Chains A and B, each alone.
Chain A
């Protein structure tokens, strides 16, 4: 079965510091896409960053970057210079043909 595992239900980070959220996935596919979505208290699902499995270069979007290890089936999200507005639930997601979500990591930002 295709699954996405986020082993950290909750994390906290000091404002302006860097935090890394972990994600692993299980697949037999060779071509797929990976995403991190953010869900703030408003409950809106917001796409943070995406990665194509056939690209070795790690994706970066401003303060957000990923560490994609295809052989290890690992896809972690690094948030640099954490801001109060980054507080949210973060979902790792995998798309071989439809998006499958992990259970999420709740990120708290400490002022």
Chain B
């Protein structure tokens, strides 16, 4: 497709369940970012990949969060033992390069609700 896609668009999980969120970036985009957006807030950085290398994971809130991009294209964000505070929209963004003008193209997000 022409843009960044994410699946599922909506996910309801019971507290303690594991979830996996998928991101398909724009073809050829080197950089991939995950953000968490709580209701009424701006997106907050979680982690960043350049190709398959995870260069920055400083924003991951706990060791229950894990992200991978094994072949440098599709990425998965996994949350283990979900908690209610994990409820948010998870946005994926990609950019052509990591250069100074790094316009990021965002996907529609996955809205996670933890009951």
A and B interact: no
Interfacial residues, chain B to chain A (CB-CB below 8 A): none
Report which A residues bind B (CB closer than 8 A).
none
